[in-house]
Amino acid sequence: MRLLWALALCCVISLVGESAAQDIGSLINKDLFEKMLKHRNDGNCQGKGFYTYEAFIAAAKSFGAFGTTGDVNTRKREIAAFLAQTSHETTGGWPTAPDGPYAWGYCFLKEQGNPPDYCVQSQQWPCAPGKKYFGRGPIQISYNFNYGPAGKAIGSDLLHNPDLVATDATISFKTAFWFWMTPQSPKPSCHDVITGKWRPSPADTAAGRVPGYGVITNIINGGIECGKGANARAEDRIGFYKRYCDILGVSYGNNLDCNNQKPFA
């Protein structure tokens, strides 16, 4: 009887240990988060005090495969890649910024300037009267056809309340994780690319799309940044990624740019 009890206890401890090891918080604690997004709470940043570690972790845990898929190095690369791409979208850095341009991610909540409404005709995701769907949050989610399904996936009516992405930090992070984890054909998900699950089709191979961080840039903004040789925007994304990989102590992997990749159709 004692042996059976001991074996059962051992199994419980093992499962708890495995669960703890797969917890994203075991790879990025609050101090590390603060180091990576060092100047996001600078007085000149629009997002000062908004993008909290607690909101990041809560949102990440609602997408259980994020940061928990694959070996430790794969998991670290996914965290680095996510924070890099979203840091580029929200950057407040400049070439001679204190601590370098890649220490200024998550400075902005909303698309800068005077953006359009980003409302297009859609029977499934019709625009709500008077609402605007310009870029908000870490991924700068835009257009009604993204706000609608993102809101449905996370349980918030973002078609009628798009400003929640700029006023509720957990919802804001959830929209970014939704985009990251969700394939939108013919594009794979960013998650599947960085964790090695995506395999190029013959069409991908013909278009020069090869596994690596560069394909994620292609997914997010390929029409503007990919297939045009080296350019400042794509290089900025790589700069953030390298800094975060260095902080997390993981190698970068291959194929970081999309210079010779055709955009997805």
Hey, which residues are catalytic here? 89
Please give the distance of CA 131 from its chain centroid, rounded to a whole number.
25
- What span, in angstroms and rounded, lies between the C-alpha atoms of 95 and 170? 30
Phi, psi of 187 (to 5 degrees): -85, 140
Neighbours of 257 (CB within 10 A): 20
**Long-range contacts, 33-38 (Cβ 8 Å, 24+):** 35/247, 36/83, 36/105, 36/243, 36/244, 36/247, 37/83, 37/87, 37/105, 37/106, 38/99, 38/103, 38/104
Please give the distance of CA 235 from its chain centroid, rounded to a whole number.
17
